[in-house]
Amino acid sequence: MADNYRRYQSRSVKKAERKKTRRNVLIWTVIIAGIAVAAVIFVLLFHRNTADELKKLSYPRKYSEYVDKAARDYNLQPALIYAVIRTESGFNPEAQSGVGAMGIMQVMPETFDWLMDQRGETGKYTRDDLLNPAVCIDYGSYLLRYFYDYYGIEQAAVAAYNAGFVVGEWLENPEYSPDGKTLTVIPYPETSDYVDKVEDAKEQYIKLYY
């Protein structure tokens, strides 16, 4: 009788130990799985954040005080102004093109004079003032807003910033614009490439900052 009891007790102890072992294994499995999931999430977030930080180096927001002011003054998206600056000069305030455009937003001196007349500020600045980022961003953004109001849509405004009022002729040509508002074809390869670059950069700025 005593032997039977001892054998029964031994089996009960072993059964309890096996159950305890299985429970411990299950607990550790859950813990390890949780750690693995947390590690994967951390790596993904770290990688994404690192990638975004590295990308921001290619899409900076220099001269933000001037850009933000111009965006408020002329009801433009900051991302659009940054995109134009990046495409025009790569944020170089002393940039000058072969055709004579000057400054961080590459405004032509003749256009600068015309804009001053439009704003009732004739003679307020000299052409060299275009090399001042505060002035160039203000007038460049004003010109962008002017074209935006003139043509009604961003695509045409950006195209006109590069090519001028010839955009109106393109909009009147059904081969380029079936609806007279949107350009499905931009006949100047340089302007077509320019519009694509500005729109792509704008999307990147929105994705990274806004």
**Half-sphere exposure of 140 toward its Cβ, with a 13 Å CA cutoff?**
33
- Residue 172 annotated to the active site: no
Claim to verify: residue 114 and residue 45 sit in the same structural domain = no
Per-residue pLDDT band for 12 (boundaries 50, 70, 90) equals: low
pLDDT digits (tens, 9 = 90+) for 112-132: 999 999 999 999 999 999 999
The model's pTM is: 0.77
Answer with the one of 9, 25, 57 that is the final residue of a domain. 57
Radius of gyration of the chain (CA): 32
Is residue 30 predicted with pLDDT exceeding 90?
Answer: no
| Residues 185 and 175 sit within 8 Å (Cβ to Cβ) | yes
| Residues 191 and 163 sit within 8 Å (Cβ to Cβ) | yes
pLDDT digits (tens, 9 = 90+) for 54-69: 999 999 999 999 999 9
Claim to verify: residue 46 and residue 69 sit in the same structural domain = no
Claim to verify: residue 149 and residue 84 sit in the same structural domain = yes
Decide which of 44 and 132 is more confident.
132
The region of weakest confidence among 8-17, 90-99, 104-113 is 8-17
Claim to verify: residue 117 and residue 20 sit in the same structural domain = no
Claim to verify: residue 90 and residue 51 sit in the same structural domain = no
Claim to verify: residue 44 and residue 147 sit in the same structural domain = no
Distance (Å, whole) CA 151 – CA 170: 12
Answer with the one of 18, 39, 57 that is the final residue of a domain. 57
Claim to verify: residue 78 and residue 49 sit in the same structural domain = no
Claim to verify: residue 94 and residue 157 sit in the same structural domain = yes
Claim to verify: residue 135 and residue 193 sit in the same structural domain = yes
Instruction: Note the pLDDT of residue 59.
Output: 98
Decide which of 6 and 81 is more confident.
81
Distance (Å, whole) CA 7 – CA 9: 5
Supply the range of the domain harboring residue 53.
1-57
Claim to verify: residue 42 and residue 69 sit in the same structural domain = no
Pick the catalytic residue from 88, 94, 121, 154: 88
Claim to verify: residue 78 and residue 42 sit in the same structural domain = no
Count of domains for the chain: 2
**Tokens in use for 89?**
């000069």
Among 152, 162, 168, 151, smallest CA distance to 188 is for 162
The proportion of the chain whose per-residue pLDDT surpasses 90, expressed as a percent, equals 75
Per-residue pLDDT band for 51 (boundaries 50, 70, 90) equals: confident
- What mean pLDDT is predicted for residues 131-152? 98
